[in-house]
């Protein structure tokens, strides 16, 4: 797939952002997983991502294998090792399946690398060129929280299915898409008292600006608490909320994540749809599990958020949450963790004007998460 360069809107929406990179959008998210072939089946058939590209033994790669799948503008890469040693194995052994690369689409990967490393980013990989019969691409990368990496991907001279070294990949079995369009935001969980360090990183090193912040008074239940700040790049296409645990009576979901992921990492990826009822119905029918919200949440919902376009009944039936801010409202729902360890999950979000993150739902949401933690014996 080639990305449509003609529809670029680089309007600056965050006036405080320096935007010296600048980032055009998310290029891909790469997960290191134990069995990429089966993970690809899951994302294709449960989530409706379409197979796009493959690289492995058949393409001359000896040590690892990657499947690329896409839906709307969302591109995920699933990578597994083929040998017992190496970084991918070490990553999976320590973290379980999880996000390794949050790749950002840029015009100039060399400049992005220089601008960020000179502001203090730790280098992961210096800019290098890759080439095949479809053209050339340039990649560079820096470290962010935990063992997560930001790659900078420059692909304006590349026309192939994904990147050099990959061949087009298709399967005989088709899976209809589920209406997912783009990544709305991607949340990082970091350790105790580390939120501001990473907020500073995104401000100073990446030129992002802060959109909002939530403290433990906003985000706490009887038992658990967390703090969060949301960082955005200049054109608003990249939004990274950063969470840290706060002191509560019991272990917070952020601590549970850190315990099982063994460090900081990507907590959830929010995927945008134009029709959340249709999307979530499809996902649910194909086996994706969502957090349960008690029926009582809906008893006073319209009093809290005012009039909405959707019927209440399907929202209640699916467990979709609604929140309103000054600009409009949003609908959102959260999956259970999609891995065996209680680490990463997805959010499905439909924005109807609102640019916020569902603050009004935090309490209902965290109580739902606590019920799951309780079942896992980690709410202590
Ligand atoms: Fe979110």
What is the residue-wise DSSP string for 298-318?
GTTHHHHH---SS-HHHHHHH
Give pLDDT, residue 10.
63
Q: How far is the CA of 64 from the centre of ligand 1 (A)?
A: 31
The pairing of beta strand 123-132 with beta strand 167-168: unpaired
3-state SS string for 240-254: EEEEEEECCCCCCHH
Give pLDDT, residue 60.
95
Give pLDDT, residue 220.
65
Q: Is pLDDT above 70 for 259?
A: yes
Model confidence over 56-96: pLDDT tens digits?
Answer: 999 999 999 999 999 999 999 999 999 999 999 999 999 99
What is the residue-wise DSSP string for 6-21?
GG-------TT---SS
Q: How far is the CA of 321 from the centre of ligand 1 (A)?
A: 12
Smallest CA-to-CA distance from 321 within 312, 220, 272 is with 312
Find how far residue 59's CA is from the centre of its chain: 28
Cα separation, 269 vs 350, in Å, equals 14
Band of pLDDT at residue 365, cut at 50, 70 and 90: confident
Would you tell me how many other CB atoms lie within 10 Å of the CB of residue 326? Answer: 8
Q: Is pLDDT above 80 for 213?
A: no
Query: What are the tokens at 325?
Result: 């801010």
Cα separation, 162 vs 263, in Å, equals 30
Q: Is pLDDT above 60 for 276?
A: yes
Q: What Rg do the C-alpha atoms of the chain give, in angstroms?
A: 20
What angle, 0 to 180 degrees and rounded to 10, lies between the N-to-C axes of helices 362-376 and 253-261? 50
Cα separation, 158 vs 351, in Å, equals 33
Band of pLDDT at residue 19, cut at 50, 70 and 90: confident
Give pLDDT, residue 2.
42
Cα separation, 255 vs 278, in Å, equals 33
Domains of the chain in sequence order: 12-168 (3.10.180.10), 180-376 (3.10.180.10)
Decide: 198 and 145 in contact? Cβ < 8 Å.
Answer: yes
Query: What are the tokens at 230?
Result: 């949301």
Band of pLDDT at residue 363, cut at 50, 70 and 90: confident
Q: Is pLDDT above 70 for 335?
A: yes
Q: How far is the CA of 156 from the centre of ligand 1 (A)?
A: 31
Q: How far is the CA of 14 from the centre of ligand 1 (A)?
A: 19
Decide: 10 and 22 in contact? Cβ < 8 Å.
Answer: yes
Band of pLDDT at residue 3, cut at 50, 70 and 90: very low
Q: How far is the CA of 78 from the centre of ligand 1 (A)?
A: 22
Q: How far is the CA of 119 from the centre of ligand 1 (A)?
A: 28
67: enclosing H helix or E strand: strand 64-71
Give pLDDT, residue 4.
46
Band of pLDDT at residue 21, cut at 50, 70 and 90: confident
Model confidence over 305-334: pLDDT tens digits?
Answer: 999 999 999 999 999 999 999 999 999 999
Q: How far is the CA of 83 from the centre of ligand 1 (A)?
A: 35
Residues around ion ligand 1, judged by CB within 5 A, are: 270, 347
Cα separation, 167 vs 270, in Å, equals 28
Q: Is pLDDT above 90 for 16?
A: no
Cα separation, 237 vs 260, in Å, equals 30
The arithmetic mean of pLDDT across residues 329-347, rounded, is 96
**What rounded mean pLDDT belongs to the chain?**
92
Give pLDDT, residue 211.
87
Q: How far is the CA of 268 from the centre of ligand 1 (A)?
A: 7
Cα separation, 1 vs 17, in Å, equals 30
Cα separation, 231 vs 150, in Å, equals 15
Dihedral, CA atoms, 357, 241, 278, 368, nearest 10 degrees?
-80
Band of pLDDT at residue 304, cut at 50, 70 and 90: confident
Q: How far is the CA of 219 from the centre of ligand 1 (A)?
A: 13
Q: How many residues does the chain have?
A: 380
Strand partners, 70: 50, 75
- Measured distance between the N- and C-terminal CA atoms of the chain, rounded to whole angstroms: 47
């Amino acid at each position: 797939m080639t990305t449509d360069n003609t529809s670029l809107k680089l309007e600056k929406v965050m006036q405080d952002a320096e935007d010296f990179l600048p980032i055009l959008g998310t290029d891909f998210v790469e997960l290191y997983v134990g069995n990429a072939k089966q993970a690809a089946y899951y994302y294709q058939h449960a989530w409706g991502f379409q197979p796009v590209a493959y690289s492995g033994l058949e393409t001359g790669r000896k040590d690892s294998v990657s499947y690329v799948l896409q839906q709307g503008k969302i591109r995920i890469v699933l990578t597994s090792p083929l040998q017992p040693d190496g970084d991918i194995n070490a990553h999976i052994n320590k973290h379980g399946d999880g996000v390794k690369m949050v790749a950002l689409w840029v015009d100039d990967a060399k400049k992005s690398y220089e601008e960020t490393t000179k502001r203090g980013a730790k280098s992961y990989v210096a800019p290098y060129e890759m080439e095949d019969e479809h053209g050339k691409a340039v990649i560079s990368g820096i470290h962010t929280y935990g063992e997560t990496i930001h790659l900078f991907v420059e692909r304006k001279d590349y026309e192939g299915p994904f990147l050099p070294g990959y061949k087009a990949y298709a399967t005989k079995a088709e899976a209809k898409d589920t209406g997912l369009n783009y990544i709305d935001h991607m949340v990082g969980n970091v350790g105790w008292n580390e939120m501001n360090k990473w907020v500073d990183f995104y401000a100073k090193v990446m030129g992002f600006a802060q959109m909002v912040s939530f403290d433990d008074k906003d985000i706490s239940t009887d038992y658990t608490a967390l703090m969060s700040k949301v960082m955005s790049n200049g054109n608003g296409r990249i939004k990274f909320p950063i969470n840290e645990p706060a002191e509560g009576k019991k272990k917070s979901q952020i601590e549970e994540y850190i315990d099982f992921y063994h460090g900081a990492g990507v907590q959830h990826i929010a995927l945008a749809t134009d029709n959340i009822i249709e999307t979530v119905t499809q996902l649910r029918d194909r086996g994706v599990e969502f957090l349960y919200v008690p029926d009582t949440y809906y008893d006073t919902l319209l009093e809290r958020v005012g009039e909405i376009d959707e019927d209440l009944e399907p929202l209640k039936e699916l467990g979709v949450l609604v929140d309103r801010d000054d600009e409009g409202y949003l609908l959102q729902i959260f999956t259970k963790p999609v891995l065996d360890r209680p680490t990463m999950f997805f959010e499905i979000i439909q924005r109807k004007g609102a640019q916020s993150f569902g603050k009004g739902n935090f309490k209902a949401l965290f109580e739902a998460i606590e019920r799951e933690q309780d079942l896992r014996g980690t709410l202590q």
